[in-house]
Structure 1
Amino acid sequence: MAEPHLIDPRTLYKANEYPKQEQDTPALEEKMIPKPDCGETSYKGSGKLLNRRVLITGGDSGIGRAAAIAYAREGADVAIQFFPGEEPDAEEVAELIKKAGRKVKLLPYDLREDEAATAIVSETVEAFGGLDTLVLNAAQQISRPTLSERPMKQVEDTFKVNIISMFATVQAAEAYLPVGGAIVLSTSIQANDPSEDLMDYAATKAAIANYTVSLSKYFAPKGIRVNAVAPGPIWTPLQLDGGQTQEVIQKFGLDTPLKRAGQPAELAPVYVFLASNDASYVTSQIYGVTGGGNINL
């Protein structure tokens, strides 16, 4: 009898210290050591999202990139919002989406700007003839050791990018989302276990968790599902342009029960599931992908 294909989750990816490294904003995947696995070579689709029309914020790198690659290989056309300056990463993803035989739309917008949410929605609808799936994933994360070193401008920008832009994007998209559509938000383990150096980021992630539940109640009567994913420590560019201290970077993820950081590719199947018809009876839920960290208070 053939043996089952099993993997040891502790050793599937890097399980020792990372080298010290930092980047100027915006950080890029191509400069990371090691470069994250976003499923570029590993993700195989099976038609779960055939002909979907998807908008992903923060889709150029990290978790958003992994979702974009997976969605395209599952049969979706994908629009990617990214922060201006991240074109090299965005163009790489665009090529992978095209190789999957799907349409792609690149949207270089700063989500701190008032008009950005309306623009990315309208350009997606124009490019694809509609919009049925939103993945709201873009985020700003900046570590500060003390309260006095945390400028209020940073706090304001973090709230604008991480949660206010979600309100604005959903509001702009509501008129287009059809019955059977889906919204997937990215929150974090920081919503439940906040770090003292990430106060503003953690507060926005708690707000997103709350928003997920209230938004799902609003959209359920319209036949639209709303869920969220709560990642733990995932190896993405978000960590390298001020998102973590160098001391944390070196030992990133080693304090989880699985003793390593996660890779973006390990979250992609959850984002696919929550958008797909397989999740037809799933709404108002938050799925943790944390390496064992608890997202339940």
Structure 2
Amino acid sequence: MSDGNTIDMIHEDQLPGHESELEPKPDWEPRYPGSGRLQDKVALITGADSGIGRAVAALFAREGADIAILYLCEHDDAAKTKEIVEKEGRKAITIAGDIGEKDFCDRAVAEAVETLGGLDILVNNAGEQHPDDDITDITEQQLRRTFQTNIFGMFFMTQAARPHLKKGAAIINCTSITMYQGSKQLLDYSSTKGAITAFTRSLSENLVGDGIRVNAVAPGPIWTPLNPFGGQKPEKMKDFGKNTPMGRPGQPNEVAPSFLFLACEDASYMSGQVLHPNGGTVVGG
């Protein structure tokens, strides 16, 4: 599904955006000492260079995991995440590429397994969004690109990881509050998030008999590079997150603990479920 315009498409709104250029800086730091809940596990996290992915990498490392950091092209942000993981005393590798390409996913998983010694946790976090006022404004190229990253990428990563995942492994997918509420300016993005939730529930049914748990996290508005660098219209950013019951956007380190819970043995009786760190908005499912 790729062509010479793939990277241009991703960057049409400055996406995915550099966390190093974002002000104020998102809070990624874990809030408490680690307790070894992921000791000597290996986690592969897509979109781990910034935002929620960085916070998850930092928290997983504090809990004892080695991390494969997958990202598109923000090399400075990825290097920072690698440094964060290594300061926690864990191994980290960075792998740049487009998860919308199956060959890349196959190569990335192979590199992670060879370098870090296996794979225990897959976090499908990477995604993109492009706001449009009307469904007729969504180009065929944008529609294909959004689905390619957000849902095709999850299929490709999971297909590549599956042969390496053994009993006790965990897959955590990032869906969104927009799957439950809808979003009038994010029609294609919201549609992919609905697909991700269905994928999560169906994959759980497919793998639970093998002792592999599959769950998801559905964040609300979170302060990451995704929205300020083109994922929302500029005029909307001044009120970003203010429509939540808590009256503010969340921080990445307020979302990361949901991923940790679903990754570790604390969630041993949970599969096919979705957690909702969204500032107090009540949604179904």
Q: Structure 2 length as normaliser, TM-score? A: 0.93
Mapped pair 1:27 → 2:17:
yes
Q: Name the residue aligned to 2:72.
A: 83
CA distance in 2, matches of 1:218, 1:24: 37
Give CA-to-partner distance per residue, 1:51-75, whole Å, 9 cap, x none. Answer: 0011000001111110000000100
Q: Name the residue aligned to 2:4.
A: none
Asked if the contact 2:113/2:119 (under 8 Å) is kept, the reply is yes
Mapped pair 1:252 → 2:240:
yes
Q: Name the residue aligned to 1:138.
A: 126
CA distance in 2, matches of 1:207, 1:160: 12
Mapped pair 1:57 → 2:46:
yes
Q: Name the residue aligned to 1:39.
A: 29
CA distance in 1, matches of 2:62, 2:50: 17
CA distance in 1, matches of 2:175, 2:57: 17
Which blocks of at least 5 consecutive residues in structure 2 are unaligned? 1-12
The one of 205, 219, 224 equivalent to 1:236 is: 224
Asked if the contact 2:15/2:226 (under 8 Å) is kept, the reply is no
Q: Name the residue aligned to 1:164.
A: 152
Asked if the contact 1:44/1:70 (under 8 Å) is kept, the reply is no
Q: Name the residue aligned to 1:193.
A: 181
Asked if the contact 2:51/2:223 (under 8 Å) is kept, the reply is yes
Which blocks of at least 5 consecutive residues in structure 1 are unaligned? 1-22
Q: Which one has more relative contact order, counting CA pairs under 8 Å at least 6 apart?
A: 1
Mapped pair 1:224 → 2:212:
yes
- 1:241 Cα offset (Å): 2.5
Q: Name the residue aligned to 1:4.
A: none
Give CA-to-partner distance per residue, 1:128-148, whole Å, 9 cap, x none. Answer: 111110000000111111223
Give CA-to-partner distance per residue, 1:221-270, whole Å, 9 cap, x none. Answer: 00010100000000110102221011211100001111000000001111
CA distance in 2, matches of 1:114, 1:219: 21
1:111-126 pair list within 5 angstroms: 111-126=99-114
Q: Tell me the percent identity.
A: 45
Give CA-to-partner distance per residue, 1:167-221, whole Å, 9 cap, x none. Answer: 1111111110010000000000010111111001000000001111000011100
Asked if the contact 1:189/1:231 (under 8 Å) is kept, the reply is yes
Provide the aligned length of Structure 1 versus Structure 2.
273
The one of 152, 167, 183 equivalent to 2:140 is: 152
- What residue identity is the alignment partner of 1:117? C
- 1:43 Cα offset (Å): 4.6
The one of 242, 262, 265 equivalent to 1:277 is: 265
Select between 107-116 and 198-207 the one with higher mean Cα deviation. Answer: 107-116
- 1:295 Cα offset (Å): 2.7
What value does the CA root-mean-square deviation take over the aligned residues? 1.2
CA distance in 1, matches of 2:50, 2:90: 19
CA distance in 2, matches of 1:167, 1:112: 9
CA distance in 1, matches of 2:268, 2:58: 22
Q: Name the residue aligned to 1:73.
A: 62
